[in-house]
Amino acid sequence: EMARSINIGADKFPGLIDTPKDDSINLTFMNATTLQVVLKVKPINSPNTIIVGIMLDNAE
């Protein structure tokens, strides 16, 4: 199912993205307990690339 566009403030972000490329997902083990995950997406009909970093916090 296709994603929907979303408004953040005055900016509208399209919901459709180009097909991911080989370098669109990057996993880097920073140390024995930390994995860095970076996702890169390019919205259709947009000249911008969006890069998202995700960090998981297991601290209790």
Distance between CA atoms of residues 27 and 6, nearest Å? 27
Residue 60 lies in a domain: no
Residue 59 lies in a domain: no
Distance between CA atoms of residues 3 and 41, nearest Å? 13
Please count the structural domains in the chain: 1
Structural domain range at position 28: 16-54
pLDDT of residue 47: 63
Predicted confidence (pLDDT) per residue in 21-59, tens digit: 888 889 999 999 888 888 887 777 776 777 777 777 777
Residue 12 clears pLDDT 50, i.e. is over it: yes
Residue 31 lies in a domain: yes
Structure tokens at 17: 């993205």
Residue 39 lies in a domain: yes
pLDDT of residue 27: 92
Residue 7 lies in a domain: no
Distance between CA atoms of residues 46 and 11, nearest Å? 12
- Assessment of whether the complete model's pTM goes beyond 0.85: no
Residue 41 lies in a domain: yes
Distance between CA atoms of residues 41 and 26, nearest Å? 12
